[in-house]
Chain A
Amino acid sequence: MASLKELRARIGSIKSTRKITSAMKMVAAAKLRRAQASAEAARPYAAAMRRMLGELAGATRGEDGAPLLLAGTGQDKVHLLVPMTSDRGLCGGFNANVHRLTVQTIRRLQSEGKTVRLLPVGRRALNFFMRDHADLIVDHVTGTSAKEIPFSVASGLGDKINALLEAGEIDVCTLVFNKFRNAMTQVPTCQQLVPMVVEETSTELEASNDVAQYEFEPDEATLLAMLLPRNLQVQIYASLLETVAGENGARMTAMDNATRNAGRTIDSLTQVYNRTRQTNITNELIEIISGAQAV
């Protein structure tokens, strides 16, 4: 049985843990709100970008020499996986989910005889993949837990992927990240970036073909060549924002649970403490009384 002093120390330490976890929860909640707002603000750009790409892809359809980003290299040998995690832990299974999905994908691709490369984003992913798959890592990016993610992080990442593709080092590029559903649930997802998956909104395309015969300045190919890397960056940016929102959501939930657990542990420890104290007093009394009786 633990002594009273030990029990007091434990209760004290759990109380301070609870203070920390509840503070972290508040901070995560505030950051989550901001992250959601910035994800919201970034949406119109992505939407307009998609619309323009749809028009352009329609206009250049069937022409030869489509850019690599759109058509890929025509091969399917080397896959680049980009797992996106946070820089910091203490957010439940958030990062582990991405790791697990990535490892599964690596195994599947390798069993199909494909070469896999990794470009981990976020310090957590880097540390994790350094352990088992250090030989696959081509590059890494950290800084995903910063206060605000500047677009330059996404554009840098996009440029790196583009450079690898141009150099013929990769054929397919896939993002692995947590899709933010709500503060409680994040869904780990794979999203293929290269070759680009054009969403076939046939009805919309047909309709626009009737109405808008676009003029292009300069020509379609140049525009497309400029627009595609941008689109890559925008998609990466969107998933970065989702990761930030997801991280803070997951941390909020995890810290909420931790705070509640701490409360429960404190309650039960306090009960043990009180019982022990009472037993001690009773024992002392018995000793005194039996001592007095003996005299």
Chain B
Amino acid sequence: MPIQIEIISPEKVLVSREVDMAVLPGMEGDIAAMPEHAPMMLLLRGGVVALYEGDKVTDRYFVGGGFADITPTRCTVLADKAVPVSDISIDTATAQLEALSEAWDKADKTDTSRLVVLQDQIQAVRAEIEAGIAR
């Protein structure tokens, strides 16, 4: 029995179809959404959402953080930013990483909340570059 997966970015709906399993990059570790999964809300880190049909990965999407809402029949991913892995632009991501590292160097090291935000962003961009290289 398949599960309905939706990947939604603020601008549009990227995916809305049925798959057998979706692996989500949770903040505290990857989580596989399968049919009959207990209802769950999840904070996502920057990483790749992999859609499985049978045992094969059919599609991979990079999400730059966001939320996921898993129910027994449905899995909704609210991504801050989402692109198919094949469309990742490594150059843009590298430029972003450089800008972020610069911001990190300049940032006030006592302002922890700002540092945490920056760290998450840097981690997300690194994950994007990795995903882009590995495709």
A-B contact count (CB 8 A): 71
List which A201-236 residues lie within 8 A (CB) of chain B: 212-218, 222-223, 226-227, 230, 233-234
Kindly identify which residue among B6, B41, B78, B80 contacts A217, using a CB–CB cutoff of 8 Å.
B41
Question: What total of chain B residues lie within 8 Å of the partner, measured CB to CB?
Answer: 23
Taking CB atoms, residues of chain B closer than 8 Å to A44 are 6, 8, 13
Is B69 in the interface zone, CB < 8 Å from A? yes
Kindly identify which residue among B6, B43, B76 contacts A226, using a CB–CB cutoff of 8 Å.
B43
Is B71 in the interface zone, CB < 8 Å from A? yes
Question: What total of chain A residues lie within 8 Å of the partner, measured CB to CB?
Answer: 28
Q: Is the CB of A218 within 8 A of B27?
A: yes
CB of A136, distance to nearest CB on chain B (Å): 28
Is B26 in the interface zone, CB < 8 Å from A? yes
Q: Determine the residue in chain A with the shortest Cβ distance to B113.
A: A166
Q: Determine the residue in chain A with the shortest Cβ distance to B80.
A: A230
Q: Is the CB of B41 within 8 A of A45?
A: no
Q: Is the CB of A217 within 8 A of B26?
A: yes
Is B56 in the interface zone, CB < 8 Å from A? no
Q: Given A41-B13, A226-B67, A227-B67, are A48 and B8 also a contact pair (CB < 8 Å)?
A: yes
Q: Is the CB of A42 within 8 A of B11?
A: yes
Kindly identify which residue among A48, A154, A215, A233 contacts B76, using a CB–CB cutoff of 8 Å.
A48
Q: Which of A49-57, A245-253, A261-269, A276-284 contacts B (4 or more CB under 8 A)?
A: A49-57
Q: Is the CB of A52 within 8 A of B10?
A: no
Q: Chain A CB within 10 Å — which of B8, B27, B38 has the most?
A: B8
Is A145 in the interface zone, CB < 8 Å from B? no
Taking CB atoms, residues of chain B closer than 8 Å to A48 are 6, 8, 69, 76, 78
Q: Is the CB of B42 within 8 A of A217?
A: yes
Is A237 in the interface zone, CB < 8 Å from B? yes
Q: Is the CB of B39 within 8 A of A215?
A: yes
Q: Is the CB of A215 within 8 A of B12?
A: no
Is A151 in the interface zone, CB < 8 Å from B? yes
Kindly identify which residue among B13, B28, B41 contacts A52, using a CB–CB cutoff of 8 Å.
B41
CB of A154, distance to nearest CB on chain B (Å): 8
Q: Please measure, in the bound complex, the distance between the C-alpha atom of A41 and the C-alpha atom of B16, giving whole angstroms.
A: 13
Q: Please measure, in the bound complex, the distance between the C-alpha atom of A214 and the C-alpha atom of B80, giving whole angstroms.
A: 22
Q: Is the CB of B43 within 8 A of A222?
A: yes
Fill in one digit per residue for B51-82: 1 if any A CB lies within 8 Å of its CB, else 0: 00000000000000001010100001010100
Q: Is the CB of B71 within 8 A of A212?
A: yes
Q: Determine the residue in chain B with the shortest Cβ distance to A212.
A: B39
Instruction: List residues of B whose CB falls within 8 A of some A CB.
Output: 6, 8-13, 26-28, 31, 38-43, 67, 69, 71, 76, 78, 80
Instruction: List residues of A whose CB falls within 8 A of some B CB.
Output: 38, 41-42, 44-45, 48-49, 51-52, 55-56, 151, 154, 212-218, 222-223, 226-227, 230, 233-234, 237
Listed A/B pairs (13) with beta-carbon separation below 8 Å: A38-B12, A41-B11, A45-B9, A52-B67, A215-B38, A215-B41, A216-B41, A217-B41, A218-B43, A226-B67, A227-B67, A230-B78, A234-B10
Since A55-B41, A217-B41 are in contact, a sample of 20 more A-B pairs with Cβ atoms closer than 8 Å, ordered by chain A residue number, is A41-B13, A44-B8, A44-B13, A48-B6, A49-B78, A52-B41, A52-B78, A56-B41, A151-B9, A151-B10, A212-B39, A213-B39, A215-B39, A215-B40, A216-B40, A217-B28, A217-B31, A218-B28, A223-B43, A230-B80
